[in-house]
A and B are shown apart, each in its own frame.
Chain A
Amino acid sequence: MYSKTLIKKDSYYDSVTLMSLSNKILNVDGVEDGVVSMGTAMNKDLLNNINMATEESKAAGENDLIIAIKAENEEKYKIALEKAEELLDNKENTKGEKKLVKAKTINSALKDFSEANFVVISVPGQYAVREAKIALNKGLHVMLFSDNVNVEAENELKEIASEKGLLMMGPDCGTATINNKGICFANKVREGNISLVAASGTGLQEVMVLIDKYGGGVAQAIGTGGRDLKKEIGGKMMIQSIKALAEDPTTEVITLISKPPAKEVETKILKEIEKIDKKVVICFLESERENNDNNKIEFTNTLRDAALKSVETAGIDSEAFNDFREDEELKSKIKEAQALLNKEQKYFRGLFGGGTLCAEALYILRNKVKNIKSNIAKKEEEKLEDINNYQGNVLLDMGEDEFTVGKPHPMIEPSLRNQRILKEAEDPEVGVILLDFELGFGSHSNPAGAAVSTIKEAKKIAAEDNRELVFVAYICGTKSDYQNYDQQKQKLKEVGVILAENNVQAAQMTAEVLN
């Protein structure tokens, strides 16, 4: 028996359509069962009870459509699925929303878009490699959103891409901006002459956002995937990206962001930079790299400094946008917060949606407060053993698989983190809760608004125990992001959250309140 599910994100269909869809599926010879429903908890419960639940269906959201089919074999399943898609496609085309030509394969898509040179692939990992290979062999640049691609397959794909002079972003690449157009999770930023290459994720978002804030603009932002600078891959895509950006007429400054690479990979990258004629800013997070006499390269250690240096290098007077000037208002807020805490409230809890922001906070805080543990720590002494049972200073990346298996990422749906905020509020030793909020395409439509009632509730829990609780937060977003940056800020201010101008500052303020 062959059982699978197809998920259609944010797809609303009326029940008559869905019923006729069910009937079409059930009428296919060799199909034993078919369930078509929205991804609500109860509908998922049903799939579970009849053994038709899959990882995909478990992860589906309440506004997603689930099509679950149980068939004799894969061939019968495919026939049923084709019938279902046919019906939905017809329905889509009569919806009157913006017309998109639907294509089922890369080949058929290319028939309709022969001028296309870029493809985003987001299919389950086991199919992703096959699709990416087809795309690369057709001469398309690839952004591979899918994860669960093994390192050997990644290497093979990147070899093909390098030979053909193409970009192969990912796997697990969620953020990119090409010709100033955001793809997947990306912020709306000013157009400009700075281009970024990063392992992807919130690190890339943070630097883009700060470049915008400091008056600069972004031409391209390329995600390489988190393993690119490891020995096994050898930085193939970072090198390919440097080559591409060297040729890109709008790019004047190239900024590279990554955790420290393997030594031999670093050497390769530096050699590649020698060959090009543009200025480069390098941010190897958590490294203590000093600048040397090389005029072409500027080394930085934090995302904030990378943004600032990029803007300066691009010839923009960043002093005008410098946000770490003495801020008397902020100072007094920190003082007030310090006075609120009692002697027992010695610790902070950082609850992050952004993985790289969490890593950067760890880098900043480890020298300012003692004994930090984190679920993303690399150092043995900092590793958190149990994400549900801990004491002391803790930083959690709640976007890690251990939190999100079967549940939406907190950048998309914040209820997971909200529950954790309430849990931390019950700990009498906690004084500060540090949070990040991501704006931009792909993120929750109202991240601050979705946290407000939880923050109030957490403060209430503390107050009932005669304590106060301090919240420090950073909003990674721009004024052009669709969530309305100023409103997001206002919502958090109204519930007494101390707001930082960047992630580094948020971490620093957390330490200051506790010290």
Chain B
Amino acid sequence: MLKNNIKVENALSISLDFEQKLQEKDLDFKIHSIYNKVLNLYDNQNNIYTIALKSIDNAPHTLRINSDQSFQELDIDKSDQIYFNNKQLFISNKLMIKVKDCKIFDSQIKSRIRLNKEVLIQNLKECFVIINNKGKFGGAKYFYQKRFTENNEYDNPGIIEKEFAERIEKYILVEEKEIEKIIGFGMGLTPTGDDFLLGYFMTAALIEDKYSQKVFKDLKSKLEKIYFSTTDLSREMLLRALELKLRENIRNLIFSLNKSSKQSKFHLKEVLEIGSSSGTDITVGILTAYQEILSKHENGG
């Protein structure tokens, strides 16, 4: 019997991998963490799955529900039992999600984009202005301003921001990239280094170009070999990236930067909304990768 006060919601969309997970006979979810807009679950292999409010975009391992009520108001506890029955996902007797007739989102990238240099250069210029105005400090923005703009009004950068900028110069913008030096580096739920790497890695992965594919393969083989000393949520994000699974807004931004429509500006604003400084850090990673690819082309590489 359900308690009368159970909250019932409909799923809006579900990622293909989450949907497949729900088909497993012995669903073994436990609650990992509870935030306003997302409720994170983990399984016995420590893979994280997310239930998100409708304001969050589609992403790997994510189920979006048609609600904007904070998960923190539902009195959900980490010891609450989770089970799936008759196409309904229950979080104890506090939340029931009807997973029926909702859209399936396949987060896996299956196609690449051809580099469109002229369009890209123009789009990047516009991005720089937006990041200057709307990008958040605390992570990669200091590096970005130092490297890509003439704006020298740094607002008292912290040790981490300065060190991060140094590490990118020293370990990423070089031939032999040492990604382990930035994984887990920085503040926040998903440290700056990981967010930056996500943007950088996925851009290299998605561009159909000799140099970017070389960088992508190099980074992929390195990522596959190392242990990610980082937070659980960030590790999950990087593991999915290795499978070429990416959240909707980031994918849109990377693709739109090569297109002549003005869509990239809108997608950039959406990405900048991710987390606190995460969106800015991811974007800086994307732009850094694009800049590097462009400069290789200019140098005939």
Could you tell me which residues of chain B, from 271 to 285, have a CB within 8 Å of some CB in chain A?
275-278
**Residues of A contacting B278 in the complex (Cβ-Cβ under 8 angstroms):** 15
Which of A62, A446, A482, A484 has a CB less than 8 Å from the CB of B79? Answer: A482
State in angstroms the CA–CA spacing of A484 and B29 once bound together: 11
User: B83 → chain A, closest Cβ, in Å?
Assistant: 13
User: A37 within 8 Å of B by Cβ?
Assistant: yes
User: B46 within 8 Å of A by Cβ?
Assistant: yes
Q: A46 to B34, Cβ gap below 8 A? A: no
User: B139 within 8 Å of A by Cβ?
Assistant: yes
User: A41 within 8 Å of B by Cβ?
Assistant: yes
Q: B184 to A40, Cβ gap below 8 A? A: yes
**Residues of A contacting B263 in the complex (Cβ-Cβ under 8 angstroms):** none
State in angstroms the CA–CA spacing of A63 and B275 once bound together: 17
A19-B138 in contact given A12-B33, A98-B77 (Cβ < 8 Å): yes
Which of B34, B70, B156, B187 has a CB less than 8 Å from the CB of A38? Answer: B187
Q: B184 to A42, Cβ gap below 8 A? A: yes
Could you tell me which residues of chain B, from 49 to 89, have a CB within 8 Å of some CB in chain A?
70, 72-73, 77, 79
Which of A18, A26, A38, A98 has a CB less than 8 Å from the CB of B231? Answer: A38
Which of A23, A42, A50 has a CB less than 8 Å from the CB of B182? Answer: A42
User: B137 within 8 Å of A by Cβ?
Assistant: yes
State in angstroms the CA–CA spacing of A41 and B230 once bound together: 7
User: B74 → chain A, closest Cβ, in Å?
Assistant: 9
User: A381 within 8 Å of B by Cβ?
Assistant: no
User: A96 within 8 Å of B by Cβ?
Assistant: yes
State in angstroms the CA–CA spacing of A98 and B72 once bound together: 9
Could you tell me which residues of chain A, from 122 to 170, have a CB within 8 Å of some CB in chain B?
none
B195 — nearest CB in chain A belongs to which residue?
A: A15
A487-B277 in contact given A63-B232, A97-B34 (Cβ < 8 Å): no
A15 — nearest CB in chain B belongs to which residue?
A: B188
User: A3 within 8 Å of B by Cβ?
Assistant: no
User: B28 within 8 Å of A by Cβ?
Assistant: yes
Q: B276 to A42, Cβ gap below 8 A? A: no
Q: A26 to B191, Cβ gap below 8 A? A: no
Q: A37 to B160, Cβ gap below 8 A? A: yes
Could you tell me which residues of chain B, from 186 to 238, have a CB within 8 Å of some CB in chain A?
186-189, 191-193, 227, 229-233
**Residues of B contacting A391 in the complex (Cβ-Cβ under 8 angstroms):** none
B26 — nearest CB in chain A belongs to which residue?
A: A487
**Residues of B contacting A46 in the complex (Cβ-Cβ under 8 angstroms):** 159-160, 163, 185
B45 — nearest CB in chain A belongs to which residue?
A: A449
Q: B229 to A62, Cβ gap below 8 A? A: yes
User: B92 → chain A, closest Cβ, in Å?
Assistant: 14
**Residues of B contacting A35 in the complex (Cβ-Cβ under 8 angstroms):** 158-160
Q: A484 to B158, Cβ gap below 8 A? A: no
**Residues of B contacting A14 in the complex (Cβ-Cβ under 8 angstroms):** 188-189, 275-277
* Residue among A17, A26, A97 facing the most chain B CB atoms (10 A cut-off): A97
Which of B158, B183, B276 has a CB less than 8 Å from the CB of A17? Answer: B276
State in angstroms the CA–CA spacing of A50 and B46 once bound together: 33
0 or 1 for each of A32-69: is its CB under 8 Å from B? (1 = yes): 01011110111100100010000000000011000000
User: B51 → chain A, closest Cβ, in Å?
Assistant: 16
User: B136 within 8 Å of A by Cβ?
Assistant: yes
User: B30 within 8 Å of A by Cβ?
Assistant: yes
User: B170 within 8 Å of A by Cβ?
Assistant: no
Interface size on B, residues (CB 8 A): 47
A15-B192 in contact given A43-B186, A96-B73, A446-B44 (Cβ < 8 Å): yes
Q: A38 to B276, Cβ gap below 8 A? A: no
**Residues of B contacting A97 in the complex (Cβ-Cβ under 8 angstroms):** 34, 72
Q: B232 to A62, Cβ gap below 8 A? A: yes
User: B134 within 8 Å of A by Cβ?
Assistant: no
0 or 1 for each of B28-51: is its CB under 8 Å from A? (1 = yes): 101001101000001011100000
User: B139 → chain A, closest Cβ, in Å?
Assistant: 6
State in angstroms the CA–CA spacing of A51 and B228 once bound together: 24
User: A445 within 8 Å of B by Cβ?
Assistant: yes
Could you tell me which residues of chain A, from 485 to 499, have a CB within 8 Å of some CB in chain B?
487, 491
User: B296 within 8 Å of A by Cβ?
Assistant: no
User: A41 → chain B, closest Cβ, in Å?
Assistant: 4
0 or 1 for each of A16-32: is its CB under 8 Å from B? (1 = yes): 11110011001000000
0 or 1 for each of B169-186: is its CB under 8 Å from A? (1 = yes): 000000000001111111
User: A343 within 8 Å of B by Cβ?
Assistant: no
B139 — nearest CB in chain A belongs to which residue?
A: A15
Q: A43 to B191, Cβ gap below 8 A? A: yes
**Residues of A contacting B26 in the complex (Cβ-Cβ under 8 angstroms):** 487
Q: B183 to A42, Cβ gap below 8 A? A: yes
**Residues of B contacting A62 in the complex (Cβ-Cβ under 8 angstroms):** 184, 229-232
A484-B182 in contact given A15-B278, A62-B231, A98-B77 (Cβ < 8 Å): no
* Residue among A19, A23, A33, A449 facing the most chain B CB atoms (10 A cut-off): A19
Q: B158 to A40, Cβ gap below 8 A? A: no
**Residues of B contacting A22 in the complex (Cβ-Cβ under 8 angstroms):** 158, 160
A42-B181 in contact given A33-B159, A484-B28 (Cβ < 8 Å): yes
**Residues of A contacting B191 in the complex (Cβ-Cβ under 8 angstroms):** 37-38, 40, 42-43
Could you tell me which residues of chain B, from 1 to 46, have a CB within 8 Å of some CB in chain A?
26, 28, 30, 33-34, 36, 42, 44-46
State in angstroms the CA–CA spacing of A17 and B35 once bound together: 15
State in angstroms the CA–CA spacing of A50 and B158 once bound together: 13
Q: A15 to B186, Cβ gap below 8 A? A: yes
**Residues of B contacting A2 in the complex (Cβ-Cβ under 8 angstroms):** none
A415 — nearest CB in chain B belongs to which residue?
A: B227
User: A325 within 8 Å of B by Cβ?
Assistant: no
State in angstroms the CA–CA spacing of A441 and B26 once bound together: 23
State in angstroms the CA–CA spacing of A446 and B275 once bound together: 29
B161 — nearest CB in chain A belongs to which residue?
A: A19
Q: A449 to B230, Cβ gap below 8 A? A: no
Which of A12, A37, A41 has a CB less than 8 Å from the CB of B229? Answer: A41
* Residue among B160, B187, B232, B277 facing the most chain A CB atoms (10 A cut-off): B187
**Residues of A contacting B73 in the complex (Cβ-Cβ under 8 angstroms):** 96
User: A400 → chain B, closest Cβ, in Å?
Assistant: 24
**Residues of B contacting A17 in the complex (Cβ-Cβ under 8 angstroms):** 276
B163 — nearest CB in chain A belongs to which residue?
A: A46
State in angstroms the CA–CA spacing of A96 and B28 once bound together: 25
A36-B187 in contact given A14-B276, A15-B139, A63-B231 (Cβ < 8 Å): yes
**Residues of B contacting A12 in the complex (Cβ-Cβ under 8 angstroms):** 33, 189, 231, 233
User: A95 within 8 Å of B by Cβ?
Assistant: yes
**Residues of A contacting B183 in the complex (Cβ-Cβ under 8 angstroms):** 40, 42
Which of A16, A41, A50, A96 has a CB less than 8 Å from the CB of B138? Answer: A16
A19-B231 in contact given A26-B158, A42-B181, A96-B70 (Cβ < 8 Å): no
Interface pairs (5), CB distance under 8 Å:
A14-B277, A19-B158, A35-B160, A42-B191, A43-B160
B→A interface (CB under 8 Å):
26, 28, 30, 33-34, 36, 42, 44-46, 70, 72-73, 77, 79, 136-139, 156, 158-160, 163, 180-189, 191-193, 227, 229-233, 275-278
The 10 closest A-B pairs by CB, nearest first: A40-B184, A96-B72, A15-B188, A41-B229, A42-B185, A16-B276, A19-B138, A14-B276, A15-B187, A18-B187
